Structure 1
Amino acid sequence: MTVALFTLGGTIAMGGVAKGGDGPGGGAVTRLTGAQLTAAVPGLAELGMPLEVQDTQAVPSASLSFAHLLDLVRDASQAVRRGATGVVVTQGTDTLEETAYLVDLVWPHEAPFVLTGAMRNPTLAGPDGPANLLAAARVAASPAARGLGALAVLNDEIHAARWVRKTHSTSTGTFASPALGPIGQVIEGQVRILATPPGHSSPAIPGADRLTAAGLADTRVALYTVTLDDDGALLEGLADTHQGLVVAGFGVGHVSSALAPVFGALAERIPVVLTSRCGAGSVLRQTYGAVGSERDLLRRGLINAGLLDPYKARILLRLLLAAGVDREAITAAFARHG
């Protein structure tokens, strides 16, 4: 038995500064290999199983694509079929919450898929990468984590992909799950699952194994955040260039009275999903009734995303559209996952 480790780069792997660049003291930050990362982690020898290391996709997390991540899932699936007990992926933290949710929607195995990273790179005092990597490996190797899908493990906390958010730009305690809290912790090296999330349906996207880079490239989903005194000019012509839209509305799912008919007209042409821009809490269904309220927008054909945040709603909608799912099935999917 092994734990498969895939390294994607990010702060956890920033081991030095190359000479001759534009930044202070040099240019691009050099990348540590998976072997170098694991060599810096005390305690891995006591894991009870070796790490099978594969360096892949050496790009900042902001440059990852859906196609990159689906390739990663396929590689990780092969590792599990070869006998890996679980999977660990190291990447930049900027998009870790989105990676985790995308993986969670398409991961077809009981084996845990664990993502981790770091907020302090190895050249700084008190780097958090080694501790995070050790905790992630312990979770990936633990029978307690089986069947939980994709997990984010940082700061000795275990977060379900469905809920995890990056909540601070620099703090080592940035990852949180505002709607639920962590589902577990790593305590004295032991994996403790304290709350089991709703049943993990794998894969949640029909035909996920047949999704292609070309199909994703042909599926464009916009994310639009409403703001005070918003004139909606950026929405003009959107249905001609995109196949779907996620709206991050005020509060429980509200927009201005001027924007309500604009979103309604768009919903007649493409799926439009209604979320909240708050970062926690649900879109409501029937509490408010004014023009631009959640009741009004749902009546106009928008799809309620429930507790799903805008970033994850966009991932779900794009994957559903790329898989060729119809509007009725999209509405059902958001009812199930939101």
Structure 2
Amino acid sequence: MCKPKVAVIGTGGTIASQGRGPLDTQDYASSGRPILTAAELVAGVPALAEVADVVPVPFANIPSTAIGWTEWRALLACIAETKAAHPDLAGIVVTHGTATLEETAYFLSLTLPDEMPVVITGAQRPFTALSSDAPMNLVDAVRVAADPQSRGLGVLVVLNDEVHAAREVTKTSTGRLQTFRSPDLGALGHVDADRVSLWRRPARLLPMAEHFDVRGIETPPRVDVTYSVAGGDGLAVRAFLDAGAQGIVAAAFAPGFTTPAERDALGVAIAAGCVVVLSSRAGSGRAFPTRRYGEQGFVSADNLNPQKARVLLMLALTRTRDRAAIAELFARA
């Protein structure tokens, strides 16, 4: 029986990192050993050959803390080139550091132009660590990418035997293997020994016709995040505005309130033409669109966390500055 073909694009991160020895699970970034290339990573997991015909694709060997708009656009181009070079692909896996994995996944889910399965995976322990999660996460991701039922679900995130939607998942622990969770709604399914078991489809998927085309946008609109704390005086808001912010995401107190001083500063930003999106620092639940904040011009992030609200606002501002249109987008995407 012919095995499905899956491309593995390597971007670096912990999943491809090498420590000083099997017990080095913390300081491997300074081990002096190189990050594995996509080809080396695939070769290091012989079990991959049992589930798919895997094509390694080089991209970058960097920590995910170094990934942003420029790398996202380059990754989009790499995905497009990989599809063109291998028209018989069943799906694509992107290996990624966990620090910004959720942001890359959500960006791709809003910008990829077709329904081919794209699965993002990473690891909490480096490839060389005792009981590393890297090999199994990679195998699971390839299995999910190769599975026909993954088609049309948007970008998926697979770690720790779980399948999550890009929009919903977030990193919740610095070091535990079960770090990626979808706080409000839970996993889409699991990767079991006998099959990929999916239990639901994500309801919040932007239609393909509305996906963002960023190929010609080298510099994104500046969007910053301000974090509400007791006694916050709004100084950060004013600094962001002075720096040229076109959008600001407020990581507000749950369920979506700032300090009075922050609200005043954000009101000044709105009056100056900056789009302000109200998210929550709680990590779960919606930022409710209250009348008081709505009348002042705030846009609700719904239940997007601040870092993902920033991704969507950056993309939205490439298309429109109309607050009503952006608010409608946040209610659907």
Q: Is TM (by shorter chain) over 0.5?
A: yes
User: 2 CA distance for matches of 1:11 and 1:307?
Assistant: 28
Equivalent runs, 1:89-238 vs 2, <5 Å: 89-198=94-203, 200-203=205-208, 207-214=212-219, 216=220, 219-238=221-240
Do the aligned partners of residues 163 and 206 (structure 1) sit closer, same or farther apart at CA in structure 2, a change above 3 Å counting?
closer
Among 260, 265, 270, the residue aligned to 1:267: 270
Retained in 2: the 8 A contact 1:226–1:250? yes
Q: 1:282 pairs with 280, 286, 292, which one? A: 286
1:168 deviation in Å?
0.4
Cα distance between partner residues in 1 of 2:157 and 2:131: 21
The residue that corresponds to 1:11 in the other structure is 14
1:46 maps onto 2:47 in alignment:
no
The equivalent position to 1:306 in structure 2, one of 299, 302, 305, is 302
Superposition RMSD on alpha carbons, in Å?
Answer: 2.1
User: In the superposition, relative to structure 1, how do residues 203 and 65 fare at CA in structure 2: closer, same or farther (>3 Å)?
Assistant: farther
Q: Is the alpha carbon distance of 1:284 and 1:24 closer, same or farther for their aligned partners in structure 2, counting shifts above 3 Å?
A: closer
Gaps of at least 5 residues in structure 2 are 22-26
1:184-211, Cα deviation, whole Å (9 max, x unpaired): 1111141111111115334475551534
Partners of 2:58 and 2:29 lie apart in 1 by 27
1:10 to partner: Cα distance: 0.7
Aligned residues with identical type, % of pairs: 38
Distance in 1 (CA, whole Å) between partners of 2:233 and 2:17 is 43
Query: Helix, strand or coil: the match of 1:311?
Result: helix
Count of residue pairs brought into register by the alignment: 321
| Contact 1:168–1:174 (8 Å) recurs in 2 | yes
Contact 1:5–1:53 (CA under 8 A) maintained in structure 2? yes
- 1:289 match: none
| Whole-angstrom CA distance in 2 between matches of 1:56 and 1:155 | 24
For residues 67-86 of structure 1, the aligned pairs below 5 Å read: 67-81=70-84, 82-86=87-91
Kindly state the Cα deviation for residue 330 of structure 1 after the two structures are TM-superposed. Answer: 1.3
**In 1, are the aligned partners of 2:137 and 2:158 still within 8 Å (CA)?**
yes
Partner residue, 1:291: none
Is the Cα contact below 8 Å between 1:106 and 1:202 reproduced in 2? Answer: no
Structure-2 change in CA distance of 1:307 and 1:204 (3 Å)? farther
Aligned-pair CA distance for 1:305: 1.0
Q: How far apart, CA to CA, are the structure 2 residues paired with 1:224 and 1:68? A: 24
- What is the TM-score when the length of structure 1 is the normalising length? 0.89
Q: Which amino acid aligns with 2:234?
A: G
Gap change, CA 1:16 and 1:239, over 3 Å in 2: closer
TM-score (norm 2): 0.90
